Amino acid sequence: MELKQIKRLEKNARNALRNSYGPYSRFRVGCALLAASGNLYTGCNIENASYGLTICAERVALFNAISHGEREFNAIAIVSEKDRAYPCGACLQVMSEFAPDLVIIIFDNKHKIKVVKLKELLPKAFVIKNKKHKQ
């Protein structure tokens, strides 16, 4: 992945972070998802007083992209105001449905990056092998 693409992803993820709603955990996250089409989709975490209804930035971005017709993804950049924010298990599982080879770029608050593949973080994703077709 080119440095120009990584910088674009980081910039958009940091912009998305501004919209994060995290009054309970005070852990705000933003992300930018690069679709195979070249389109970029962002997301931020949105908390709720009923903690189980909280949604992570990664799933917001992914669901935004899917709702716009995207089905294939190349990379996602994740930023937080604190240290590195790795995707939770639920986000990894949802991402694996659409992009098992996704590149995950995680920025810390000093702009240092860690690049990993989704399969490294979730090596045994739950999959249905007899899916007849992708919608």
**Domain contains 62:** yes
Residue carrying the six token digits 């590195």? 84
**Domain contains 127:** no
What is the span of the domain harbouring residue 15? 3-121
- pLDDT value for 94: 96
Q: State yes or no: is 70 an active-site residue.
A: no
**Domain contains 129:** no
Rounded Cα–Cα distance for residues 93 and 74 (Å): 16
Give me the catalytic one of 58, 70, 81, 120: 58
Question: Between residues 121 and 110, which one has the greater pLDDT?
Answer: 121
**Domain contains 128:** no
- pLDDT value for 134: 55
Q: What is the CATH number of the domain that holds 19?
A: 3.40.140.10
**Domain contains 41:** yes
Pick from 59, 47, 128, 53: which is nearest to 88 by CA? 59
**Domain contains 134:** no
Strands 73-80 and 103-107: parallel
**Domain contains 133:** no
Tell me how many domains the chain contains.
1
- pLDDT value for 1: 82
